[in-house]
Structure formats: C-alpha cells, structure tokens
Chains A and B, each alone.
Chain A
C-alpha cells in the first residue's frame, strides 16, 4: 500500500509517456457477456481482451456517456442500470431502471436514459444526474429496441410481441404513433441525418425503413443466404455508418452479417461471423466493426473498408452488446 502510494506519481508519468509515444491512440471495445456477469474489454489495436470486469446479473444493454466518462450497463436480472467507472471498473452507483432492463438509449442531452423494461411493457426514462425516474411510458409487450433521433425529439421503443415501433415525444413523454412492423422487432436506429428510421424484425426476417417525417414505410429489406434455411435468417442488431453508406445487420442464427446499401436498400454482401450474431458496434472512425457472437462466445472483427472479417476474439459466455470507448 505504502509502496504503491509512493510510486503512483512515477507510474502515472510512465503511463503518460507510454501513451504519448504510441503513434496510434488505441481505444477499447467493451462487451457485455450475458451469461457470465462480466464485461470483456478489448484493446482496439492489439485486438486482445485486456480486462475482464465483474458486473451485475445478466448484463445486456451497454453504452457510454457522451464524454465516455462513465459506462451505463443494463444488469437485467439485477433489475438495475449500473453506472461504472471505465478506469477502475468499479460500480459507482446504480440507476432505478424499472424491472428487467434490456436495452436503452442515451438522449443527446447526455442526461436522460430511455430504458426498455422487457417484462413490464414499459419504457422508463431516468435522469442520470438526479438518478430519478422521470417518466414511465406504457408500450407493447416485451419492449426491446431503443433509438433516439439525432435532434433528440423522438425516441423509439420496439415491442417484440406487439410487433410495433412506438414513437415517443421526448418533451411530453407521450406516445405520438405506433407503427406495425413484422414479427418480433428487435432493434431500431435513425440514420445520421435523422430522415429515416430502420427497424429489424427477427422472426419476420426483415428490416423495415420508415420515412421519419411521414412515419410511412419507405422500404422493406429481405435477406437470403445460400445454404442457410430462410427461417434461420433472423435480423437482430444492426448499425448504420454515419456517412450514409452502409448498414451492417446481424442475422442471428444465420451466423452472418448482411451489408446493406443505406441509400438503395440493396443487400450488397453477407459476411460470415460467429454463431448467433446478436449486436454490432463500430470503433471510433468506423473502420472496424465488432460483432457479438452469442453461442460461440466470441467477437468477430470486420474491416469495414474491405467488408471482410479479420479476427475472432474469444470473450465470455454469450456476449450480447458492445460499445466503443476512445482512448482517454
């Protein structure tokens, strides 16, 4: 203890010099392992797991605050959202999340977390500063996918068993519309310009694209992989590149990620990844995509420019979600 205290200034100086001498400022990918109650931290440069952090029960939804100073984590079976110090890995505090939080989205104001409470058919809005529940909104059965428009005016909750995207006005916390999609919607994202909303339907096997202003269906994207039976092709998590070029759609038990043209909605390619691919996350400059492969318990790293997998990284049991943390 004494030694450590004595050497701390020196150690810090050493770390700083190391960091500054590194040409590439590597960030980290944080992965929630649903059936291990851990987070695996992957170094962006070495692509190795550099830390494993013990967290609450059944960690799923994972996201950083806008300044990346804290991590928010849905500990579903602990019925809480944990606020974690990414430096120490310690749980700083817990947010009242409602029961069984699964996914959430942080509002652009960096203050309000919108949380899907899967068992309660509710979306809970929590103020992360006061740590109080601001509102609870009744939505359909098994809410899951969460998205927020870039201007922060609309939050989307998808309900898996009601097959709807619920449009929430973030000022009033009231529902303004409910749009039907195919069976078991899992995930939702707005395009970077806020003009379109994408929603994936796991059992329906489709991704529906809505025009945000009219809330009308703009397109429906289907998938077909040679040698994979159609009902194994189940779109779940996906992310859109901010340059408006690609969408990467995880196809669950089809073990592939589909590459979709964001403008034409054409499926350009299918990339083979690990088993039961669930969610995907980019690194900071969107040059790499990380996929969580639940059944095989690993992460596939995809080179976005080449649209090719480059590495598989073993993590904990049933990796669920991933979030990027730039070098601090």
Chain B
C-alpha cells in the first residue's frame, strides 16, 4: 500500500520488547516501557522445542567416486536455524531448541515419530514421500505442524496433500517451471530429454513434461538412459552416439537426481548444446553458488558451523525453523495451531536471502520461493524471470497454482 498507516502503539506485530539486563534498568525504564510494549517481562519466557526427524537413506551407487552425501544434510540447516532464532529470541524472551531423532534405514520410523510427537508438535521431516505420509497420518500428528524439508514429490502438494504437512523444499514442478521460464526467455524451446532410470528421474521428467506443455516448449526427442558401463572411461565414446539420434534441439535436458550419469553428458554431445536439468544449468532451492541478497552471510554462517557448503535440504531445513521462529516472534505463541494459522496467513513474511519475501501457499502449504538456476560456480538467473506475470504473486508462476491445485485438505 502506498502512503502511510498510523498504528496503535501496542500493535501485536510491532511491539517494543525489552531485554532486562540489570535491575536499575527496570527501575528507570520499567513503567514507561511496559506501557509501550505490553510484552512479558523476563520470567515469562517462551520455550519452543522443534523436532527433527530423519530416516537415513541407503547409499546409492553412482559412477563417480568423488562426492559423498554429508551425513548431517538437513540437520545442519535446522541447527543453524535454531541458532539464528535464538540470537533473535533472546531479546524477546523466546528460546528455541532442537530435539532430533535420526532413524536407520531399516529402523522404526513411526516409533521414533510417536516419541518425538510426545515431546513437541513442531516437526521437520527429512524422509521420502511414503514416510512423510505415514508420519503425517499418525493419530499423534493430527494437531502437529509438520514441515517437509527433503521431498520434491509433486503429489504431496496436490492430491496427496495433508493439512498438517507444509513444505519448504521446492516441488519438482517448481524446479521444472523455473527451467522452462529460462528456456523461453532464451528462446531455447526445442528440447531433447535424457531420462534417468530411477523413479525420481521419471518423476522429474513428468514434471518437465507438464511444465513444457504449460510454457509451450517442444520436447522433440527423449530417451531413457540405460547404460551400465562406467562412463568415466567411456563417456567420450558412448555419449555422442547416445544423443546423436536426437532431432535438432536447443537444449539437452537430463533428469538424474542422484548425480549418477548426467555429468558425463556435458561436452560430450554430438552437436554443441548446453545441458540443463539435473546437470549443467540446474534449478534448485540452494547451492554454494548463491550469494546475492545477503545470501553470502547465510553461506558464511553455515560453512562456519557445519564445515561444508549449504545444500538445498539444509536450506529447506533452515527455512522451516526460521518460519516457525518468525511465527513465534509475531504471535508470541508456541501452539502449533496458532503458528500454522499465522504461517498460512497474508501477514507472514520470511526473509530468506532470495531477494523477495517468502510466504506459504494457503492452498497446499508450499513455501513460495524464487528458484535460482545455477551451474556449480554461479547463479545464471533466478526464476520467476522478468515477464512471467501473475495476478497475485509472481512466485506462483512456479509450481502448482491455486486454480489447478487438487489439494483439498487446506
């Protein structure tokens, strides 16, 4: 809104608050400030326990031996979120703590979930789609506020959505739409698609199918990757032949979420074409290349605390904790129902180092967020791109928009 609005001195959202450091301060300022702030004095502190539940995934074999998935992926982001929230909370009499349960791949996830739900109803969940739904459907989770930090499954935001499950990790639909917008802007609208053999690769390809239809991009050729060979030795011979039969295209798109074979497509094509999707130009929630909009500060804090660079699941976990923290700051409550209502309201805004205020979609609980398109060393563009307009929020050009949502639980 332009212009100004005069507000009452003690409006809920902008209350003055105090840090009592020494008794004389109370004597000097106590009366006047209490009148101003309506804020609980020291002693009326608010404790907020956030649960973190993760099922470890079995390591998957990939062709390259160079990288391993960090064992604290997700958890490290949540821990930084709690540290950040406490640095603000100490001025407001709010204290945040993390209660974590990491379950082995074959372990009793639901047992751990019940135990954790006994301690807190505010939970971050780092697990697969199937596990997420199992936890969300527990009777103990009915009144809980659960946040999915790991799974991009589109169905979780659509037909399979649950009213108690929010999402800070972008859906595959959001990532696909980000790439499509970039391709349209570049006029690289003739694609060839190499689909990986894993279920998640198929899911990403399906999201790309839907997105390319929406943005009028032509997938002119597609193949499923089927090589068992070790591409470190054979890429130069195998890949050009594999992609040779594709019709003329502007962009070679690959779905290979676990990072198995996609890397060998770069610079190995039959014709010189940029690679995008899971390799090359990659849409994702976060990576070490994100530095604008103050992101460098978050990167430095994370690297300082975790000893490695921040990944998408770490970012989603950080954002989940910060969303809860922001809601606690504004509502002065730790009641999951109060927090959920505030988080899904128009008043909620989160500064997430992406240059726009982040908020949740009230129709399916997805965190709206810009999606950077990156190669390992730089952000090339950030969707929503200029020119992709929306009647209410341009970030809703990415992923499932309200009119098309089949989520009925919200």
Complex Cα spacing A305 to B92, Å = 43
Which listed residue (A159, A181, A221, A231) contacts B4, Cβ 8 A? A221
**B36 surroundings in chain A (CB, below 8 A):** 214-216
Nearest opposing residue in chain B for A207, CB measure: B4
What string of 1s and 0s marks CB contacts (under 8 Å) between A194-220 and chain B?
000000001111001000001111111
In the assembled complex, the CB of A95 is this many whole angstroms from the nearest CB of chain B, namely 22
Asked if B107 is an interface residue, CB under 8 A from chain A, the answer is no
Asked if A229 is an interface residue, CB under 8 A from chain B, the answer is yes
Nearest opposing residue in chain B for A162, CB measure: B88
Indicate if the CB atoms of B356 and A219 lie closer than 8 Å. Answer: no
Asked if A93 is an interface residue, CB under 8 A from chain B, the answer is no
**B21 surroundings in chain A (CB, below 8 A):** 174-175
Asked if A304 is an interface residue, CB under 8 A from chain B, the answer is no
Which listed residue (A141, A175, A217, A266) contacts B7, Cβ 8 A? A217
**A275 surroundings in chain B (CB, below 8 A):** none
Asked if B18 is an interface residue, CB under 8 A from chain A, the answer is yes
Asked if B222 is an interface residue, CB under 8 A from chain A, the answer is no
Asked if A85 is an interface residue, CB under 8 A from chain B, the answer is no
In the assembled complex, the CB of A174 is this many whole angstroms from the nearest CB of chain B, namely 5
Complex Cα spacing A179 to B329, Å = 12
Indicate if the CB atoms of B357 and A204 lie closer than 8 Å. Answer: yes
Indicate if the CB atoms of B5 and A119 lie closer than 8 Å. Answer: no
Nearest opposing residue in chain A for B355, CB measure: A253
Indicate if the CB atoms of A183 and B91 lie closer than 8 Å. Answer: no
Q: Which of A247-296 contact B (CB under 8 A)?
A: 253, 264-267
Which listed residue (A140, A159, A178, A183) contacts B357, Cβ 8 A? A183
Number of interface residues of A (CB under 8 A): 48
**B7 surroundings in chain A (CB, below 8 A):** 217, 219-220
Complex Cα spacing A119 to B304, Å = 10
Asked if A118 is an interface residue, CB under 8 A from chain B, the answer is yes
Asked if B40 is an interface residue, CB under 8 A from chain A, the answer is no
Asked if A177 is an interface residue, CB under 8 A from chain B, the answer is yes
What string of 1s and 0s marks CB contacts (under 8 Å) between B12-55 and chain A?
01111111011001000100110011000000000000000000
Indicate if the CB atoms of B19 and A179 lie closer than 8 Å. Answer: no
Nearest opposing residue in chain B for A201, CB measure: B351
**A202 surroundings in chain B (CB, below 8 A):** 351
Which stretch (B143-151, B294-302, B398-406) binds chain A?
B294-302
What string of 1s and 0s marks CB contacts (under 8 Å) between B50-90 and chain A?
00000000000000000000000000000000001001101
In the assembled complex, the CB of B383 is this many whole angstroms from the nearest CB of chain A, namely 14
Asked if A184 is an interface residue, CB under 8 A from chain B, the answer is yes
Complex Cα spacing A255 to B329, Å = 32
Asked if A170 is an interface residue, CB under 8 A from chain B, the answer is no
Complex Cα spacing A162 to B11, Å = 18
Complex Cα spacing A215 to B29, Å = 11
In the assembled complex, the CB of B305 is this many whole angstroms from the nearest CB of chain A, namely 12
**B33 surroundings in chain A (CB, below 8 A):** 177, 215
Indicate if the CB atoms of A208 and B351 lie closer than 8 Å. Answer: no
Asked if B247 is an interface residue, CB under 8 A from chain A, the answer is no
**7 tightest A-B CB contacts, nearest first:** A162-B88, A216-B9, A265-B4, A178-B91, A224-B2, A183-B351, A203-B351
- The residues of B with any CB-CB pair to A shorter than 8 Å are 1-7, 9-11, 13-19, 21-22, 25, 29, 32-33, 36-37, 84, 87-88, 90-92, 294, 297, 300-301, 329, 349-351, 355-357, 394
A178-B17, A218-B6 given. 20 additional CB < 8 A pairs? A141-B84, A160-B294, A160-B351, A175-B91, A177-B17, A180-B14, A180-B16, A182-B349, A204-B349, A214-B32, A214-B36, A216-B36, A219-B6, A221-B3, A222-B4, A229-B394, A231-B356, A264-B4, A265-B3, A266-B3
